[in-house]
Amino acid sequence: MRIFFTLVRRDLLVAYRRRMDVLVSLIFFVIVVSLFPLGVGPERETLRLIAPGVVWVAALLSAMLALPRLFAADHQDGTLEQMLLAPFPLSAIVLAKVLAHWLVSGLPLAFMAPVLGLQFDLPTSALLVLLASLLLGTPALSLIGAIGAALTLGLRGGGVLLSLLVLPLYIPVLIFGAGAVETTMMGMTPEGHLSLLGAFLILAVLATPFVAAAALRIALE
């Protein structure tokens, strides 16, 4: 565990030194969400209707925008090859890097979403469910994206291929995340959708580090 948290702290320090890259994803999220009320108009019912899907799609795209940075820098300077040779499971290294990636990109995004949701006149209950759904969903997005980032590591035009690989896998998270907010606005309980998001996150934590580690070994051969 000491090595695991050392890796997390190391990646957080690297992200802090390259904080403009992190800010680009967050600014993109703010701009995309803010454009819809301007384009759709001030109708409250319309804004409330589209809010869950808009916020979640913007969050999904912002998370995907940050994925190429997950392994690229370590691959370019040879750090990733040294990690591969270290007496420490590569799957745990992948999990540490994903955790650090989520802390600097997914977590701020989740806490920004309720503030941006005020533009859509969402009630307080819906804003809280939106926050909860993003806290459950964005780690799953980072974990799934790690597989795509590992598979496309070092490839020319890998960003486009990465999008094609991970977008279909993001669909269940998008459906359950937006659905939780929609059911809350309809006066029903969102527990079913949140439970499915939690189950999806647990499955991603258990499976994706090993898949991403295998993909990294293939990419580094």
Q: What is the mean pLDDT of residues 61-82?
A: 78
Lowest-confidence region among 67-71, 90-94, 141-145, 203-207: 67-71
For 121-159, letters b (16+ CB in 10 Å) and e give ebeeebbebbbbbbbbbbbbbbbbbbbbbbbbbeeeebe
Most confident segment among 15-19, 37-41, 129-133, 147-151: 129-133
Provide the pLDDT for residue 39: 82
Share of the chain above pLDDT 90, in %: 24
pTM greater than 0.75 (yes/no): yes
Quote the CA–CA distance of 161 and 217 in Å, as a whole number. 19
Confidence class for position 180, pLDDT limits 50, 70, 90: very high
Residue 157 pLDDT > 70: no
pLDDT per position as a tens digit, 41-56: 778 888 888 888 899 9
Provide the pLDDT for residue 158: 63
Residue 13 pLDDT > 80: yes
The range of the structural domain enclosing residue 69 comes to 2-220
Q: Longest Cα pair distance anywhere in the chain, in angstroms?
A: 59
**Cβ atoms within 10 A of the Cβ of 39, count?**
7
Burial of 61 (0-12, 13-18, 19+ CB in 10 A): middle
Total domain count for the chain? 1
Residue 81 pLDDT > 80: no
